[in-house]
Amino acid sequence: MKLDSRIKIVDITEKAEYEKYIYRCLAPMPFRRYARRQKYLQEAVPKGFRKKLLIFNDEVVGTIEYAPAEASGYPIKSDNVIVMNCVWVLRKAKGHNFGKLLVEDMVKSEANASSFATIALENHWSPWFIKWQMEKLGFKSIDSSQVKHKIKHLEQGFTIHVMWMPIKENAEPPTMDWQKLLEGETFCMAHPLYRPQNWKGSILELIK
């Protein structure tokens, strides 16, 4: 696939000049190296974590981050699966299918992977990880659980889906360690399932 010359996908995993994007991603917030992200990166980068930016007309408008299961941000397991922690394209760049382009770049870069997995949310109050968007990117739901947040929107249950995209014929569907996921994640503080530093115990509880 040949990219339009205005589009660049850059692997920034170990590029110091792009460090702010590793920490604050595309969010309009000040760059701060925070301990949990630092710890996650220290462990995940040597195991194959990657973060990439999509630059369009010299402006950063998209990102994707992924890692092999053992270094990913979610407790997803399967043989030879790459787990996409996150993908994000800014609304101002929508209409170019940049999300799909980032996913295709990941699939091409991880040619040995049998499949790719991520999560999706349904009925969550945030605009993140919406199921139909993850489906548009090529993933399908293979498992789900209904949960409740323990601090926010206590009255609103939502569903977490395990999303999968097999590539090789013999790919084995991944499994989610739901108990672990209920604890909340710690790899990115902007994530809707983030567990605050001072919170003891799980951040989510199972409804069914």
Ligand X SMILES: CC(C)(COP(=O)(O)OP(=O)(O)OC[C@H]1O[C@@H](n2cnc3c(N)ncnc32)[C@H](O)[C@@H]1OP(=O)(O)O)[C@@H](O)C(=O)NCCC(=O)NCCS
Binding site for ligand X (CB under 6 A): 86-89, 93-100, 128-129, 133, 136-137, 190-191
Q: Which long-range contacts (CB under 8 A, 24 or more apart) does 136-140 make?
A: 136/99, 136/100, 137/87, 137/99, 137/100, 137/103, 138/100, 138/103, 138/165, 139/163, 139/164, 139/165, 140/164, 140/165
Least Å from the CB of residue 91 to ligand X: 7
Nearer to ligand X, 50 or 114 (CB): 50
Nearer to ligand X, 39 or 136 (CB): 136
Nearer to ligand X, 96 or 150 (CB): 96
The Cα–Cα gap between 106 and 186 comes to 23
Residue nearest to ligand X (CB): 99
- Do 82 and 106 meet the contact criterion of CB atoms below 8 Å apart? yes
Nearer to ligand X, 18 or 128 (CB): 128
Least Å from the CB of residue 79 to ligand X: 26
Q: Counting every residue, how long is the chain?
A: 208
The Cα–Cα gap between 143 and 184 comes to 18
The Cα–Cα gap between 124 and 128 comes to 8
Least Å from the CB of residue 63 to ligand X: 9
Nearer to ligand X, 182 or 193 (CB): 193
Least Å from the CB of residue 118 to ligand X: 10
Nearer to ligand X, 81 or 163 (CB): 163
DSSP 194: B
- Do 199 and 188 meet the contact criterion of CB atoms below 8 Å apart? no
Least Å from the CB of residue 170 to ligand X: 28
Q: Residue 95: CB partners within 8 Å, gap ≥ 6? A: none
Least Å from the CB of residue 54 to ligand X: 9
